[in-house]
Structure 1
Amino acid sequence: MGNQVDKLSHLSYAEVPTTDPNGLDTEEDGPRVGVSYIFSTDDDELDDNHHQPVDGPEQEEEKRELDCAVYHRDECIYERSSNTTELETFSPENLLNRCKPGDVLEFVCAGQYPHWAVYVGDFQVVHLHRAEVKNSFLTDAGQGRRGRIVNELYKFKPLSPDMVVQNAMEQVGAKDRELSWRNSEGFAAWCRFGKREFKMGGEIRIGKQPYRLKLFLPDKQFHVLEFQSLEDLIMEKRRNDQIGKAAVIQELAHHLSNNGSEANVH
C-alpha cells in the first residue's frame, strides 16, 4: 500500500472546495480538501444561554472521539488514546474537586467544538470565549458540559503552575484584534507551555510541512495529514472532534475511495 499522506494546501478559500471558515465541508458529495484556516476566528463560540444537562447518565464522550497523535517531524508532541483513563469526563461540580491552579481543562459535548480553559483557583478559570479572554467561574465557562483535566495531552515541558496562572490572568480583557489565538485550545495551551507555535502566525508557512496529524482508524489502519503550522493542525483536529468519530471515518472513506487510495495499516 502506498504512503497515505494528504498534504494540505494553503490557498484562499475561493481556490479549494472546503470554503466554510470553520473548515466544514460545504459540498455534500465532493471529496474534502484540507486547507489553511487563515480566515477563521474562535471556533467554539456558544450562545451564553446554551446549556447541556449534566444530571442524566454520564456521556461517554470518549467513544465518539477519534484517537489521534500529532508529530513535529519525528517527535510526538500530542497523543489522545481511548485506552487511557485521561479521557474520563466529570460534571463541573466534580471537576472542581479535582482541579489545581495551573491545570488546563477541556469541556466536551457531542456536536460541539471542545472548549479549553485554565483553572486559576477560587472556582474560577480564564478562557477565550466569543473573541475575548474572560475570567469566569468554572461552572459558567463549561456551560453545562462535562469536563476533564488535559495537562498531559501535549507533550511539551510545562511552565510552573504560578506562571501558567500568571500568563492567563495577564490576558484577561484582551479581545478582537488584541488576541493572538484563534481558539480556546490555542490560548490555554499557550498559557501552560508558553510556546509561540500556539499563537496566530507563530510560525512561517514556507517550505516543507513539518506537522503530521495521525488519525487512528478501525482495523489497525491509520491516515495522516500534513500541515505547515501547529495552528492549522489544531483547527483540523478540533473540526474532527466537533463532527465526531463516525463522521470523520465516513468522510475519509469517501475521500480515499474517490482517490483510489487506501489507508495505511500499522
Structure 2
Amino acid sequence: MGNQVEKLTHLNYKEVPTADPTGMDRDEGPRIGVSYIFSNDDDELEQQQDSVHDLGGENPALQPYDPQLHEVECSVYYRDECIYQKSFSEEDTTYTPENLLNRCKPGDLVEFVCQAQYPHWVVYVGDFQVVHLHRLEVVNSFLTDASQGRRGRIANRLYRYKPLSPAVVVRNALEQVGCKDRDLSWRNSECFAAWCRYGKREFKIGGELRIGKQPYRLQIRLGDKRSHTLEFQSLEDLIMEKRRNDQIGRAAVIQELSSHLQAAEEEEEEDEDHHHPARGTPPKLWPQFPPGNAGAALIW
C-alpha cells in the first residue's frame, strides 16, 4: 500500500489545461501537466452495482451501512495544513436517495456510499438533479438515478477549502456536461465534484507539477491513538489511494497496514541487531505529534 503514482500505466501523455475556467487560480501562472490513461474507478463501481441487481440482491440503500465498520477515518495534510478530514460523527449519517432530496441545496456535494464499492460523488444543481462524472462522461441526471439505490450524505464539510458561491458551483458543473473521454480533466467523480465546489486545479489531471517532492500526507487512523501516514506528490494521487481504502473497507486496510508495519519492524530489529549485536533490541518509543496538531496523538 503506497504512493499510487507507482501503480499508474503511462500509455499516453499530452498537455492538458490546468487553469480553471472560473478564473479562481490567479495566484500562479498556468502549469503544464500530464494526462494518464487510467482505469476509472466509477466504471468499476457501476459494474459491481449491476452485478448486485443481476443476482437479485437487495437495494443497497435498504441494507445496513455503518461508516464506523466500513470506512476509514483519515486526515489529509498539505505540508502542515489539514485540508480534508473524515471522522465519525452525526454528520456522517447516511440517508436514502429520497430523504436526501429534502436536504440538498444547489451547490451541495453528495457522496453515495456502499460496502465494497468506490464512493460516488455528485453536485446537486437543483430541481432534484445532479451533475457527475459517470462512465468517463460528465452527465446531468436525477439524484435518485445517480444514486443507483445507494445511501448518501452531504459531503460539504470533508474538504476544508473555502467553497465558491452556490451559483458558481452549479455553473461550473453544468458547463462541463457532455465532456467525455480524452477531454476529461478528472480521474474520478470525487475530483470532479470537488473541483466544481472549490475551483482548485489540484483536483485536475496534471494540475500539479511532479518534481519529486511529496507535500501531501494521508494520515490513516487505526484506533487506540495509533495512525499511519502515507506521502504523495499530488492531491489526485492521494485521492485515488483514499478511495481505494474506502472500496476495500476498514478491515482490509488495517490488515494491509498491520502486515506492512510488522515486516518493517522486523527489518528494523534485524538491522539494529546486526549493528549492535551485544546491545539487543531497545524498547520502542513512539514520537508524539507537536502540540496543536490535528489527528492522532501517535504515529507509526
- Give the alignment's TM-score, normalised by structure 2: 0.74
Match in the other structure for 1:141: 146
**Structure 2 residue 65 is matched with structure 1 residue 59:** yes
Change (3 A) 1:61 1:12: closer
- Structure 2 matches for 1:43-82, cutoff 5 A? 43-45=41-43, 46-47=46-47, 49=50, 53-54=59-60, 56=62, 58-82=64-88
Q: By how many angstroms is 1:58 displaced?
A: 4.0
Contact 2:217 2:229 in 1 (8 A): yes
CA offset at residue 41 of structure 1? 3.5
For residues 36-55 of structure 1, the C-alpha deviation after alignment (integer angstroms, 9 at most, x for no partner) is x9543421220474556156
Q: Distance in 2 between matches of 1:115 and 1:13?
A: 21
What is the SS of the residue equivalent to 1:187? helix
Contact 2:60 / 2:151 at 8 angstroms: preserved in 1?
A: yes
Taking the aligned partners of 2:145 and 2:99, their CA distance within structure 1 comes to 14
Matched position secondary structure for 1:59: coil
> 1:121 aligned to 2:119?
no
Q: CA deviation at 1:7?
A: 7.1
Q: Which whole-Å CA distance do the structure 2 matches of 1:210 and 1:106 have between them?
A: 26
Q: For 1:181 and 1:251, how far apart are their aligned partners in 2?
A: 28
Distance 2:194 2:7 in 1: 27
Structure 2 matches for 1:79-118, cutoff 5 A? 79-82=85-88, 84-118=89-123
Q: Which has the higher helix share?
A: 2
Displacement after TM superposition at 1:64 (Å): 1.4
Could you tell me which amino acid in structure 1 is paired with residue 67 of structure 2? E
Could you say which residue in structure 1 is the equivalent of 2:160?
155
Distance in 2, Cα, partners of 1:135 & 1:144: 17
| In 2, Cα distance between equivalents of 1:67 and 1:168 | 28
Q: Say which of 3, 7, 21 aligns to 1:8.
A: 3
Q: Deviations over 1:93-148 (max 9, x none)?
A: 00110000000000000000000000000100000010000101000000000000
Q: Are the aligned partners of 2:3 and 2:241 in contact in 1 as well (CA < 8 Å)?
A: no
More displaced, 40-49 or 84-93? 40-49
Q: How many residues align?
A: 238
**Other structure's SS at 1:259 match:** helix
Q: Any gaps of 5 or more consecutive residues in structure 1?
A: 1-5, 15-36
Once the two structures are superposed, residues 226-252 of structure 1 have per-residue CA deviations (whole angstroms, 9 ceiling, x without a partner) of 000000000000000000000000000
**Which stretch shows the higher mean deviation, 231-240 or 58-67?**
58-67
The structure that has the greater radius of gyration is 2
Q: Which residue of 2 aligns with 1:185?
A: 190
Percentage identity across paired residues of the two chains:
63
Counterpart residue identity of residue 71, structure 1? Y
Q: Is the 8 A contact 1:79 1:153 kept in 2?
A: yes
> How far apart in 1 are the matches of 2:141 and 2:81?
35
Cα 1:55–1:149 shift into 2, 3 Å:
closer
CA contact (8 A) 1:61 1:108 kept: no
Q: SS at the partner of 1:189?
A: helix
Which residue of structure 2 lines up, in the alignment, with residue 21 of structure 1? none
Q: Which runs of 5+ in 2 are unaligned?
A: 10-34, 269-283, 288-296
